[in-house]
Amino acid sequence: MSAHADACHFELRNMRAEDLPQVAALDQISFADPWPQGSFEYELKTNNYSLCLVAEDPDAAEGETIVGALVIWLIVDEAHIATIAVHPNYRHRGIGRRLLVEGLLQAAGRGAVKSLLEVRSGNLDALHLYFGFGYKVVGLRPNYYQAEAEDALLLDLDPLDLEFLRNIKLTFSS
Ligand SMILES: CC(C)(COP(=O)(O)OP(=O)(O)OC[C@H]1O[C@@H](n2cnc3c(N)ncnc32)[C@H](O)[C@@H]1OP(=O)(O)O)[C@@H](O)C(=O)NCCC(=O)NCCS
């Protein structure tokens, strides 16, 4: 991954089939129990009730342009955060936040009024991200992540506050 990540500008867009190898590679370095490429392919091509977004650094070397990815499952009126990852070289620059804002706004446009997710209880980066949106801890799933022998916290954001999300989005373009 390029060393100029500090100066990068990035773009959000819908995931495309040609992104899949990079998205799977990103998942691989981000999780102990990554999704195989076929799972992303299913979400993108087959599941009509998922939203798949990527963050792209257009200035990165070819084959290294996908720096973030998000999949949301639309379950009745709920936006379930299925997976979100930002490349380690690009973290703490607001990319995860932008992906989540965009994903939640798109989910709201398709009928979601609340959001739910599971997160490793020790995943402080992710917890900071989610608490910044107002997610609250509503449950615990013991030993949910068997690869890491770690509990999951169940977080929900109910209701989705569209004005809050749009205001965050506005700060990105200012
Ligand atoms: C979780 C993850 C997606 C966050 O992506 P990111 O692009 O680094 O997040 P952002 O830069 O948008 O940060 C969002 C907020 O969290 C804060 N934050 C992020 N990491 C933080 C940390 N270690 N300590 C304090 N605050 C932190 C940021 O400051 C920002 O808040 P602010 O805008 O109020 O300052 C990223 O760490 C990641 O890919 N982790 C591995 C995969 C993973 O665990 N995914 C979550 C599964 S539930």
- The domain locations on the chain are 3-173
Strands (E), the chain: 11-14, 50-56, 66-75, 78-86, 114-120, 136-145, 150-157
Mean pLDDT over 150-157 rounds to 97
- The 3-class secondary structure across 72-109, one letter per residue, is EEEECCEEEEEEEEECHHHCCCCHHHHHHHHHHHHHHH
> Structure tokens of 158?
């109910």
Of 80, 91, 121, 168, the one to substitute when testing ligand 1's pocket (max ligand atoms within 8 A of C-beta) is: 91
Residue 149 confidence (pLDDT): 87
The ligand 1 site (C-beta within 6 Å) comprises 30-31, 84-86, 91-97, 119, 123-126, 128-129, 132
Closest atom of ligand 1 to 84 CA is 45
Q: What is the pLDDT of residues 159-173, one digit of tens each?
A: 999 999 999 988 886
- Domain 3-173 CATH (choose: 3.20.20.70, 3.40.630.10, 3.40.50.970, 3.40.630.30): 3.40.630.30
**pTM of the shown model:** 0.93
Look up tokens 């190898």; give the residue. Answer: 21
Mean pLDDT of the chain: 93
Q: Is residue 2 over pLDDT 70? A: no
The span from the CA of 148 to the CA of 143, in Å, is: 8
Catalytic annotation, residues: 118, 130
